Amino acid sequence: MPAEDFWQPVYNAFDPWKRLWGEKLDTFFVEREHSPLRPLTAQFRPGRDVQKTLLVGHRGSGKSSELLKLVRNIGEDFSTVWFDANLNLNIFTANQVELLFLIGVAVYRVAEQEDLHPKKQNLDLLIDCLQTLVREQTQQTDFVLDAGRLMTNVICFGLPAIIGATAGPAAGAGVAALTALARELAQEAFSLGLRKEEVAHLEVEPRIWDIARAVNLIIADVEQKAGKPVLMVVDGLDRLEPDPARDIFVNSQVLSLPNCRVIYVTPIALYYSPDFAQTRQQFAMAEFPNVKLHERNTPGTLYKAGMKTMREVARRRLRALGYEPEMVITRNSLNLLAVMSGGVMREMVSLMREAIVQAEVAGETRITLRAARAAVYKLRRQYAAGLRWENYQQLKAFWDTGTLPQGEIGNTFLRNNYILIQANDTVWPEVHPNVRPLLERISLRPPTCSQDSPAGNSGDRERRRRTWNLEPLRH
């Protein structure tokens, strides 16, 4: 069999951007230590008080998969609504008024999909409240929402679509197709086109409470007709840009207004910001750590349970194709990819996919250390591409002191996984294992050029080579 034919199904099984909808959730999901699943299951039992929770973790850490598993475990007890803010809002300009409005629309839309026949007058009231608010406060007297287009474009799902209960694998495939379509139609994301100052002014107006009341009328109607409480999962808010994320989570009270059980996926950088303290007082917090690969004080000693979890991510996908993992990837190669993933689920899947490509290009039908290292080096080069000279200094200072950089640069390092938050009995930050070699091989003395020539002479080039220690990034 040609190498490309052998690798085709394996390559497709390692898609770092595909969520585990439907039967894939049962096949691919790997349970981990320190998961919030069990605590959330207990906290969200139907007979307990309404709870609003912020779920905090790194991008790609596996939050969506864990939430899908939670919904699969407890969703039958609720009228479940899955809403992905990343697919419905503009991540650069999203605001709290739009989010509150779309939460109400999503609950109504899912109730329609499940033939609960929600009261249309509640949706009409919600739309009218938003139109009135915008008209009065922005002087856009002709502002009108296209309700038909709104209902067509909003991307949200109920429990049958999430778990594939209505049509087996086809339901999960349908969800994946809609998700892909939504990404292609990003320009259709809902936006009122308001300036930040206008949104801040809107929120203090009484009409924002009118919108909240209309949202809660929809929720109450759906709960009465379903005979179950509403459980709302708002995913994708961790992808918001820093300014709108801060306005929504720190400077606003809007997330507390929907009268239902709700889980908001929250940007990790905000969680470690000093001004997040007030938000912590208003919501239950669920920390979602990466998979721990070593203890805090023994980075050179691998943690067996964490390594087993990361290896199992690859093994389950290979066994689903009928392959014994050892026939597809050597143990040392799998260990290398697991360590260099940093315990981040998406990076583990990404590294596997890149190693598959490297093996195929070499005409091999097994991932060896050569292919695994090539995958690691490629990801390391991508990390290096995002760093400027001062960033190396800031990362090295963090590495030496353990103190997170303050301000926007610290947020950037957390958002983009240059710094990972690890947890067991305590919480600690560390440099991503695939970034550490960049710091080890680069001196922190700034490079210099000759004053005689912009390019410098051969002696200058040699001094720069020694200063930056320009060894290939594959080491």
The answer to whether 44 touches 71, Cβ cutoff 8 Å, is: no
Task: State both tokens at 290.
Answer: 């990466």
Contacts 24+ apart (CB under 8 A), 389-392: 389/446, 392/438, 392/439, 392/442, 392/444
Q: How distant, in Å, are the alpha carbons of 98, 151, 272 from that of 110?
A: 18, 10, 34
Q: For the chain, what percentages of helix, strand and coil (3-state, to nearest 5) are there?
A: 55, 10, 35
Give the pLDDT of residue 196.
Answer: 62
Task: Report which residue type is found at 183.
Answer: R
* Residue pLDDT, tens place only, 329-345: 999 999 999 999 999 99
And the tokens for 122?
């509640």
- Quick: pLDDT tens for 362-412: 999 999 999 999 999 999 999 999 999 899 989 989 988 888 888 888 889
462 vs 450: CA distance, rounded Å: 11
Cβ neighbours of residue 319 closer than 8 Å, sequence gap 6 or more: 325
Of 272, 291, 268, the closest CA to residue 342 belongs to 291
- The pLDDT value recorded for residue 271 is 86
**Which pLDDT score, from 0 to 100, does residue 206 have?**
66
Residue 179's pLDDT is: 45
The rounded distance, in Å, linking the Cα atoms of 135 and 142 is: 7
Ranges in the chain, pLDDT < 70: 1, 164-189, 192-206, 424-425, 442-475
What is the distance between the alpha carbons of residues 226 and 111, in angstroms, rounded to a whole number? 8
- What are the φ/ψ torsions at residue 177 (nearest 5 degrees)? -65, -40
Whole-number pLDDT of residue 193: 61
Cβ–Cβ < 8 Å for 198, 228: no
Distance (Å, whole) CA 87 – CA 185:
9
For 261-299, letters b (16+ CB in 10 Å) and e give: bbbbbbbbbbbbbeebeebeeebeebebbbbbbbbeeee
Alpha-carbon distance of 185 to 27, in angstroms, equals: 30
Label residue 118 left, alpha or beta by phi (over 0 means left) and psi (-120 to 50 means alpha): beta
DSSP per-residue string spanning 54-92 = EEE--TTSSHHHHHHHHHHHHGGGSEEEEEEHHHHB-TT
Pairwise CA distance, residues 22 & 209, whole Å: 37
Ramachandran quadrant class, 409 (left: phi over 0; alpha: psi -120 to 50; beta: rest)? alpha
Q: What kind and span of H or E run contains 52?
A: strand 52-56
Nearest-angstrom CA–CA distance, 195 and 140: 13
